[in-house]
Amino acid sequence: MPRRRAALVPLLAILLGFALGALVVAATGRSPADMFAALLQGLSGVSLAARSFNPRYPGEFLVQAMPIMLTGLSVGFAFRTGLFNIGAEGQLMVGSLAAIAAGLWVPAPSLVHVVLVLLAAMAAGGLWGAVPGWLKARFNVHEVVVSIMLNYVALHLNNWAVVDLFHSLDHVKTPVIPASALLRSPTLSALTNGSRLNWGFVPVALSLLVYWFLIERTTFGFGLRAVGLNKECARYAGMKVNRSIVASMTISGAFAGLAGAVITVGIFGFGRAIPAAEGYGFDGIAVALVGGNTAVGVFLSGLLFGLLKAAQPLMQSQGIPKEIASIIQASIVLFVAMRLGIEHLLQRLRSGTGPAATGEAEP
């Protein structure tokens, strides 16, 4: 499929998603114009109503986009290699735990400490991701179900570790992680009027580069993709299919683990017990799908969904329930999944009425 057409379906899905969102807002007696104004404010910091500019909003928008780009890379890497990693959420939580452990327990000088924390998170996330990969390779157990289950195991592991292992005083937060292990940046924060913007964008940018290079430019990545496209064919060509599945899930998990570190040592500075999963894994699925599982696509759709998340409090303050963001996000995912329907629609628009002459589109 030519590249231009490949981007057409996600773009149309985004348009339809926002149109549906605006419709829901209008149908429930709120103003769609307010919704778009909130999105503009989240993006640029410019408030049309108050005629003011606050750089804190674009700062927070980038903060929201960073972790979901990483979970997007995680899910995307698995998709490219024929796997469905619905477990990014759990890998993220385990990565966050490793980051806390390395931050609190391992004394190290400033820059070394941060790198250590990020590597620990990637290793832990990678291991957690390797489990469903290995189970699929060795026992042919479906990775989706195993990953969903491991998400819940990770959630309760997180809540136990925060309270008992790291000795939380208030049963909600771990002690504060030393500054040497944090990605905090007073400069970036000051530049954006006190937002939580931090050095997290450095590992995110590196990850995007590594993803692109690994998957598009190396023999290793080509092998993984080949297994994803056709297992039997890859096996016939002499590729080690089982090893490739485990490797894919490990790398996929490492991206998600890194997201956990970026959240914990970038945004918060301490570990948190949480009542339920926060949805970064599902965000990652949306980011990867809309971004067509390419590095550039993940970057762009990460910005889009980060913006939706960042605009939530702004919409809420306009009287539009902030959950409209989830409704729009889910609709976009659903429309992308309905690719076949959208392509039919496009063909029909092109060729007037009646079924298209070119016949059935590929599913």
Partner 1 sequence: MNLLGTMIPIALVNATPIVIAALGGLFSERSGVVNIALEGIMMVGAFSAASVTVLLEPAASAGYLGMLVGVLAGVAFSALHAVASIHLRADQVVSGTALNILAGGLTVYLCQIFFGQQRSDAFATGLSKISIPALARLPVIGGVLFRDVYPTTFAALALVLATWFAVYRTPLGLRLRACGEHPQAAASVGIDVLRMRYLGVLLSGALAGLAGAAMVLTQDIQYTIGSVHGTGFIALACLIFGKWNPFGALGAGLFFGLSQATSIYAKDIPFLHAVPQDFFYMLPYALTVIALLAFSGKSVGPRAAGEPYDAGRR
Question: Rule CB under 8 A: which residues touch partner 1?
Answer: 24, 28-29, 84, 86, 135, 139-142, 144-146, 148-150, 152-153, 156-157, 159-160, 164, 275-276, 279, 282, 285-286, 289, 321, 323-327, 329-331, 333-334, 336-341, 363
Q: Which is nearer to partner 1, 111 or 276 (CB)?
A: 276
The helix (run of H) or strand (run of E) holding residue 145 is: helix 143-160
Q: Phi and psi for 272 in degrees, rounded to 5?
A: -130, 135
d(CA 13, CA 330): 11
Q: Which is nearer to partner 1, 150 or 215 (CB)?
A: 150
Q: Which is nearer to partner 1, 194 or 319 (CB)?
A: 319
Q: Which is nearer to partner 1, 38 or 117 (CB)?
A: 38
User: Cβ distance 56 to 45 under 8 Å?
Assistant: yes
Q: Which is nearer to partner 1, 216 or 360 (CB)?
A: 360
Instruction: List Cβ neighbours of 113 (8 Å cut-off, separation of 6 or more).
Output: 102, 103, 106, 107, 178, 180, 181
d(CA 326, CA 201): 24
Give the nearest distance from C-beta 51 to partner 1 in angstroms.
28
Give the nearest distance from C-beta 286 to partner 1 in angstroms.
7
What 3-state class would DSSP assign to 45? Answer: coil
Q: Which is nearer to partner 1, 183 or 246 (CB)?
A: 246
Give the nearest distance from C-beta 234 to partner 1 in angstroms.
20
Q: Which is nearer to partner 1, 107 or 359 (CB)?
A: 359
Give the nearest distance from C-beta 278 to partner 1 in angstroms.
12
Amino acid letter, 242: N
d(CA 146, CA 48): 48
Give the nearest distance from C-beta 180 to partner 1 in angstroms.
30
User: Cβ distance 110 to 76 under 8 Å?
Assistant: no
Give the nearest distance from C-beta 205 to partner 1 in angstroms.
27
Give the nearest distance from C-beta 363 to partner 1 in angstroms.
4
Task: Give the burial class of 346: count Cβ atoms within 10 A of its Cβ; 0-12 exposed, 13-18 middle, 19 or more buried.
Answer: middle
d(CA 49, CA 287): 31
Q: What is the largest CA-CA distance in the chain?
A: 70
